[in-house]
């Protein structure tokens, strides 16, 4: 699959379009036929039933930071008591139309890579082969003391045995596999099977940093791309915004599809204020195969 030269593609991109209806023609014009780097955020997974932090209608949340998690045994227990309930939401979630469309674009050779800020693993479950999990994966756990990594499913079986009936509570679910629950004093935490140490999901908590090699790899991907397509991210945190800033700095077109404003709107070549699934479906419906 071929497309216009990189310099021509930049020259043809339209100016920013802010709140309004989906403009399929503008989006098709802004994206090359190949060389697209995709950055996805929580808005991609809301159609799969996973809550987000900052989308329209989202309830304000104060997620536990890494510093709070390791501060005391009580905080560690409180986290896992809620996460054991929240795991049901993540485990039941299925890939939606956005995940499926991006996996198809990868098979067609349109993408040069995909970076996700999500921890749900739904891109891989949709068949996407090359994914950078910027913030880790919630289906894995790691020991804070010995570094051992293992499957979340194994830990969840142990927690269920230690806390029979715990998951039968009716609660509200929160982003990142959390749940709203105040009283957790009776919950029993499972230690690392290798050293007896403290476990955490293999994800980047608020207050932690993405590993430097991963960041450098994502910057390299950004510099190779012919366009950066941001889907479902408010770009509120620097972990994703820095790639938008780099793309804009080197003159690579930045296309953002997100409900509501983002911190990258002023850097966008094109901004569409709409849902991801219907937007990508509209693009595919009017695209002439190469």
CA–CA gap between residue 119 and residue 138 (Å, rounded): 5
Domain segments of the chain: what residues?
17-48+95-136+209-286, 66-94+140-203
> What is the predicted pLDDT for the residue at 4?
36
4-8, 165-169, 189-193, 284-288: least confidently modelled range: 4-8
pTM, two decimals, is 0.88
> What is the predicted pLDDT for the residue at 176?
76
Q: Which member of 135, 183, 217, 236 is catalytic?
A: 135
Q: What is the mean pLDDT of residues 125-143?
A: 97
> What is the predicted pLDDT for the residue at 66?
94
Neighbours of 252 (CB within 10 A): 23
Residue 250 CA: distances (Å) to CA of 132, 202, 219, 227, 267: 22, 33, 12, 11, 12
Compare 117 and 175 and report the one with higher pLDDT: 117
Q: What is the mean pLDDT of residues 207-211?
A: 93
Residue 94 burial by Cβ neighbours in a 10 Å radius (0-12, 13-18, 19+): exposed
Q: What digits encode the pLDDT tens for the residues 8-63?
A: 344 334 445 444 444 556 788 889 999 999 999 999 999 999 987 655 555 556 78
Token digits for 195?
């050293």
> What is the predicted pLDDT for the residue at 107?
97
Quote the percentage of the chain above a pLDDT of 70.
Answer: 86
Question: So what CATH class is 17-48+95-136+209-286?
Answer: alpha beta
CA–CA gap between residue 34 and residue 46 (Å, rounded): 27
> What is the predicted pLDDT for the residue at 184?
95
What integer best gives the mean pLDDT of the chain? 88
Report the candidate in 226, 232, 222, 229 with the shortest Cα–Cα distance to residue 262. 232
Compare 132 and 282 and report the one with higher pLDDT: 132
Q: What is the mean pLDDT of residues 54-82?
A: 82
Q: What is the mean pLDDT of residues 154-162?
A: 97
Q: What is the pLDDT confidence band of residue 285, given thresholds at 50, 70 and 90?
A: low
Q: Crossing angle, helix 212-224 and helix 238-249, to 10 degrees?
A: 30
> What is the predicted pLDDT for the residue at 63?
80
Spatial contact of 199 and 190, defined as CB atoms under 8 Å apart: yes
135 is catalytic: yes
CA–CA gap between residue 72 and residue 150 (Å, rounded): 23
């Amino acid at each position: 699959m071929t497309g216009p030269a990189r310099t021509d593609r930049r020259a043809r991109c339209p100016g920013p379009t802010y709140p309004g209806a989906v403009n399929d023609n503008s989006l098709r014009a802004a994206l090359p036929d190949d060389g697209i780097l995709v950055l996805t955020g929580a808005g991609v997974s809301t159609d799969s039933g996973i809550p987000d932090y900052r989308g329209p209608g989202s309830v304000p949340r104060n997620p536990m930071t890494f510093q709070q998690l390791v501060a005391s045994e009580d905080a560690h227990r409180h986290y896992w008591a809620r996460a054991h309930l929240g795991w049901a939401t993540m485990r039941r979630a299925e890939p939606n139309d956005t995940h499926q469309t991006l996996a198809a674009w990868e098979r067609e050779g349109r993408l040069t890579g995909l970076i996700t800020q999500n921890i749900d693993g739904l891109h891989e479950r949709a068949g996407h082969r090359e994914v950078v999990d910027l913030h880790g994966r919630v289906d894995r756990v790691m020991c804070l003391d010995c570094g051992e990594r293992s499957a979340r499913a194994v830990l969840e079986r142990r927690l269920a045995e230690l806390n029979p009936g715990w998951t039968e509570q009716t609660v509200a679910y929160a982003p990142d596999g959390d749940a709203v629950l105040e009283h957790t004093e009776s919950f029993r935490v499972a230690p690392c099977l290798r050293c007896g140490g403290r476990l955490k999901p293999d994800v980047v908590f608020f207050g932690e940093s993405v590993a430097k090699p991963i960041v450098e790899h994502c910057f390299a991907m950004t510099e190779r791309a012919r366009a950066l397509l941001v889907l479902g991210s408010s770009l509120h945190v620097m972990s994703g915004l820095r790639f938008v800033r780099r793309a804009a700095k080197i003159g690579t077109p930045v296309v953002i599809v997100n409900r509501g404003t983002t911190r990258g709107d002023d850097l966008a070549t094109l901004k569409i204020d709409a849902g991801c699934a219907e937007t990508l479906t509209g693009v595919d419906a009017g695209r002439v195969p190469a």
